[in-house]
Amino acid sequence: MLKSVTEYIERIKAKGTSNETYGEEEISTAIASLFKQMVLSDGVIRDEEIEPAVNHLVSKYGYLDKGETDQSIRDHFQTARNESMFPIAVIINSSLSKAQRRQLKIQLMSTALSDREFHPYEQDFMDLVDRLIKT
């Protein structure tokens, strides 16, 4: 992991800038990954959490296609288990404004609380998000 971080920093230095430009698809995928990881953080995929997460993604970012089935949405969430937070944080920090990042955190917290339980693993995930996503 440290090697990949070091290589990433070296690539930034070589370009002479720390401001990478990311496309809308990369940004929306990074944001979607955060929501997916929040839903998965307590180890259970609950409909009460999926619904607000999907609503935030569709209304704010247009991430999911309208014709997707419940199973394909669940499959989207399952793939997030293997995604690393560092590249997601880099994309979000460099692409969203401070206000947008703050709003994103509020939406993540809303998703976590939608099942009326704030699981310790959800707290751990929010702590990680707070450390990696600048506000």
Distance CA 104, CA 44 (A): 22
Burial code (b: 16+ CB inside 10 Å, e: under 16) for 14-48 equals: eeeeeeeeeeeeebbbbbbbbbbbbbbbbeeeeee
pLDDT at 52: 75
Tokens of 37: 């990881």
Task: Give all domains of the chain, ordered by start, each with its CATH number.
Answer: 25-132 (1.10.3680.10)
pTM, two decimal places: 0.65
pLDDT at 67: 54
Residue-level pLDDT at 87: 87
State the Cα–Cα distance between residues 74 and 68, nearest whole angstrom. Answer: 10
> What is the tens place of the pLDDT at every residue in 92-125?
999 999 999 999 999 899 888 888 888 898 999 8
Report in angstroms the alpha-carbon separations of 107 from 14, 32, 55.
36, 12, 10
pLDDT of residue 63: 53
pLDDT at 11: 55
Is the distance from CB of 105 to CB of 129 less than 8 angstroms?
yes
**Per-residue confidence (pLDDT) for residue 26, from 0 to 100:** 84
At position 114, the amino acid (one-letter code) is S
Q: How confident is the model at residue 17, as a pLDDT?
A: 47
Q: Which residues of the chain have pLDDT under 70?
A: 1-20, 56-83
Q: For 16, which DSSP code?
A: T
Task: Please tell me the predicted confidence (pLDDT) of residue 20.
Answer: 59
* Through-space distance between the first and last CA atoms of the chain, rounded to whole angstroms: 25
Alpha helices in 96-119 (DSSP H): 98-113
Q: 59, 37 in Cβ contact below 8 A?
A: no
* Residue 1: predicted pLDDT: 39
pLDDT value at residue 115: 84
